[in-house]
Structure 1
């Protein structure tokens, strides 16, 4: 299948509302209003040159787009995903942290939080992962394994939706860097009232898709890139980066 066909299939999945995110659906439908590009990477195994090439792709994309979808059609199994994470984290621009569920939450999966440091040396991206594997929540089971990356700085949508004008300044830093996420994508086609309504609708829609399985809600947190079988945890321990966080609040899009 050609790259453009793979890209179309992935974004059709988003357009059809399968992610539960109404904002994402609008971004795809409106195209050029909020540039969200894609790059198909056909590697089955990752090595240093592949990671360096991805880095160049991200660097160039950050100059022209708000986000990029790295689509990986040949990465299909949890084991391949774990090896990909391990290889990415050998590069200083990437790191992975283990996401520990809150005491009130439950999951039988290992939760990997993959991070990419933006070229500005100020922000770090919470990479949003998609994969058609059993441990991923339904809102992330896209037709292809992929990484969604916010390429710019914090946006205003979370502060508008939460009525918190200082939301960006109140975010917890990770190792001195301010987290960014797809929720930071600019929404020039929506006024403030529409942003608030769309945010609430997204929470409701995704919530219905994740219920009645508590584990799916835990695995769908925005800070989680991939929910993987627990037996893969040991293979990734060596690439975990301890995360020093300040005492401020979390990023606005905690749940989905």
Structure 2
């Protein structure tokens, strides 16, 4: 499968609403308008990942970046990816054990701020809202935009995907989209969002898989 097909299939995951996020479903239909870019990596190399992050930090018109790794298909591949991300100059990784899972919070450095990274992939042990065709990390690559209104204000030193600028949407419509996203996410998960499915957790791997505790 070529790069464009990979990007299109991954976008289909968002467009279909399987991530639970109404905002992502809308943005996935017009990447340019919502300043979202995808990059596909056939191999997993820290220098290449750092180069992409540095480039898009300075690139005008791109505020959300998705890095797709189509060859990360197994638990071993996923652990290798986490290890590699930990070697990137632009990235730090926080790890926690939670209810039989090793949870990794990947953060991209942006000046004095940290951008929370959301992870997706073809793994049955991921939360249902994170089970995408290909392994991907997505994150905010620009400072938070100025909002006329916010439903949930984040700390000033934290960036995350919810900071996407949803253009030309009034307060009433925004609130409705937010509420719909929360309800849809809970329905897809089959329960209320928890630590494993929260924005601060990028990847979670069951402890039954041997060797992954040294993934980062």
Work out the number of aligned pairs and report it.
212
Match of 1:117 among 100, 104, 109: 109
TM-score (norm 2): 0.89
The aligned counterpart of 1:11 is: 11
- After superposition, residues 52-201 of structure 1 pair within 5 angstroms as 52-62=47-57, 63-64=59-60, 65-99=62-96, 101=98, 107-118=99-110, 121-155=111-145, 160-162=150-152, 167-168=153-154, 171=155, 178-201=157-180
Deviates more, 1:55-64 or 1:14-23: 55-64
1:221 and 2:198 matched: yes
Note the alpha carbon deviations across 1:79-100, whole angstroms, 9 max, x for none.
2111111122123321111145
C-alpha distance in 2, partners of 1:136/1:155?
Answer: 30
**Cα deviation, residue 220, structure 1:** 0.8
Listed as ranges, the gaps of 5+ residues in structure 2 are none
**Cα deviation, residue 143, structure 1:** 0.3
TM-score (norm 1): 0.76
- For the residue of structure 2 that corresponds to 1:13, the secondary structure is helix
- For the residue of structure 2 that corresponds to 1:18, the secondary structure is coil
8 A contact 1:98–1:111 mirrored in 2: yes
C-alpha distance in 2, partners of 1:158/1:221?
Answer: 25
Higher percent of residues as helix: 1
- For the residue of structure 1 that corresponds to 2:138, the secondary structure is strand
Q: Identify if the C-alpha distance between structure 1 residues 51 and 203 changes in structure 2 by more than 3 Å, giving closer, same or farther.
A: same
Listed as ranges, the gaps of 5+ residues in structure 1 are 102-106, 240-256
Higher percent of residues as strand: 2
The aligned counterpart of 1:249 is: none
